[in-house]
Amino acid sequence: MTVRRTLLATGLAALLMQIPLIASAQKMVLKAADVHPAGYPTVMAVESLGRKLETASEGRLKVQTYPGGVLGGEKEMIEQTQFGAINLLRTSLGPVGTVVPEVNVFNMPFVFRDIAHMRAVIDGSIGEELLARISASPAKLVAIAWMDGGSRNLYTKKPVRQPADLKGQKIRMMGNPLFVDTMNAMGGNGISMGYGEVFTALQTGVVDGAENNAPSYFTSNHYSTGAKYYTQTHHLIIPELLVVSKFTWDKLSPADQALMKKLGREAQLEQRALWDKAVADNTAKLKGAGVEFIEIDSKAFREATAPVRAKYGAAHADLIRRIEAVR
C-alpha cells in the first residue's frame, strides 16, 4: 500500500513537473512601450528587465522597447495594451484611473504626505493590493510592478505662489477628469491633453503652463518654451505602473508569469535608484538653464483641493485611512 502510494505520488509529482516544462516552451518577443525617451529611468529599468528575462528564459522571452511615445500617447498605448498590440507598458497611474476607477485613490491631490510616504505605501501590502485590483478588474491589464514618478509641480510662464496667481491660466493636465478637477480647484483652468502635444501647446499659447516632475519637465524640453517658473506645489505624487497585456499574460506559463512578477519587483527597485539620480541631475540642469524653482508652503493648494479628495475619495474612506496610517 505504502509502496503503491509512494509510486503514485512520485508519478503525480513527475506529471506536475512536466506541466510547466511543456507550457514554458512559449517563445515571444514582448513589445514594451513608454512615452519617455531612451535613457529615462523607466525605460532603462524595463530594458534591464528584458535582459534578465532573456537570460532566465534561455532566449525564449525577449523584450523589444519602443520608447519616446512612438506607439502613441499614453491613453492610446493603454488601449493597445488592453487588446494585446502592446505586451508590456510602463504608464503613469493617472490615465489608468479612467479604465480602473478604483485606483483613483492614488491619483488624488495630496493623498500622500511626501515621496517617502508614497514609497512605503506602494512597497507594502496596500501597493500589492492595488496591483491585484488592477489585474482583477475587467481592464485586461495585469499589473506587475510600481515605479517612481516623484512629485508633480507647476510650471508656468508667470510666477505662481498661491492659488489666486493661477486665475485665468490654462494648465495642461493628464487625461483623467480627476486632474482637471484638481487644477480647477487649485485656481487655474485645467485642460486635458496628451503628453506629446504639450510642447507645441506651450509654444503656441494654447496652454499657459503644465505640471510634472523634474525628469519629465527636463527631458520633454517644456522648460524651453518660456514656462520657466517651477512652483514646488507637490500637488500630485502619482506612482507609475508596469502592466502586461492580459492577452500576453494568458499565453505565459505559470512559471513564466512568476518570473515576470519577480523581475517586475526587481525593476521597481532598480528604477528607484535611477530615479533619484535623474531627479538630482535634471534639477541641476533645469537650474542651469535658468528655470526658477519657487519654493512655497503648499498648504493653500492642499486646502483648495479638499473637495476633489471628498469627491473621489468618498467611496474609499477605509483605504484612505489605511494609506494615512502608513508611516
CB of 78 to ligand GTR, least distance (A): 10
Is 74 an interacting residue with respect to ligand GTR (CB under 6 A)? yes
**CB of 43 or CB of 263, closer to ligand GTR:** 43
**CB of 49 or CB of 259, closer to ligand GTR:** 49
Which of 105, 107, 98, 101 lies closest to 79, judged by CA?
98
Q: How far is CA 158 from the centre of its chain?
A: 29
Given 80, 81, 82, 92, the residue binding ligand GTR (CB under 6 A): 92
* CA–CA separation, 239 and 211 (whole Å): 15
Site for ligand GTR in 287-326 (CB under 6 A): none
- Binding residues for ligand GTR, total number by CB under 6 A: 12
* CA–CA separation, 297 and 316 (whole Å): 28
Cell 534591464 sits on residue: 48
**CB of 57 or CB of 230, closer to ligand GTR:** 230
CB of 33 to ligand GTR, least distance (A): 11
- Stretch of 49-57, 86-94, 123-131, 307-315 lying at the interface with ligand GTR (CB under 6 A): 86-94
Is 94 an interacting residue with respect to ligand GTR (CB under 6 A)? yes
Q: Which three cell numbers stand for residue 57?
A: 528564459
Backbone CA torsion sign across 215, 112, 102, 133: positive
Is 104 an interacting residue with respect to ligand GTR (CB under 6 A)? no
Site for ligand GTR in 105-164 (CB under 6 A): 149
* CA–CA separation, 6 and 127 (whole Å): 42
- Stretch of 115-123, 212-220, 277-285, 292-300 lying at the interface with ligand GTR (CB under 6 A): 212-220
Task: Give the x/- contact pattern for ligand GTR in 162-201, rule: CB under 6 A.
Answer: ------------x--------------------x------
**CB of 91 or CB of 248, closer to ligand GTR:** 91
Contact predicate 240/180, CB 8 Å? no
* CA–CA separation, 250 and 309 (whole Å): 36
CB of 152 to ligand GTR, least distance (A): 7
* CA–CA separation, 116 and 150 (whole Å): 10
**CB of 155 or CB of 195, closer to ligand GTR:** 195
Contact predicate 228/292, CB 8 Å? yes
* CA–CA separation, 44 and 67 (whole Å): 10
Question: Where would I find the beta strands (DSSP E) of 69-226?
Answer: 88-92, 141-147, 152-156, 170-173, 189-192, 209-212
CB of 16 to ligand GTR, least distance (A): 41
| Interacting residues toward ligand GTR by CB under 6 A | 35, 74, 91-92, 94, 149, 174, 195, 212-213, 216, 240
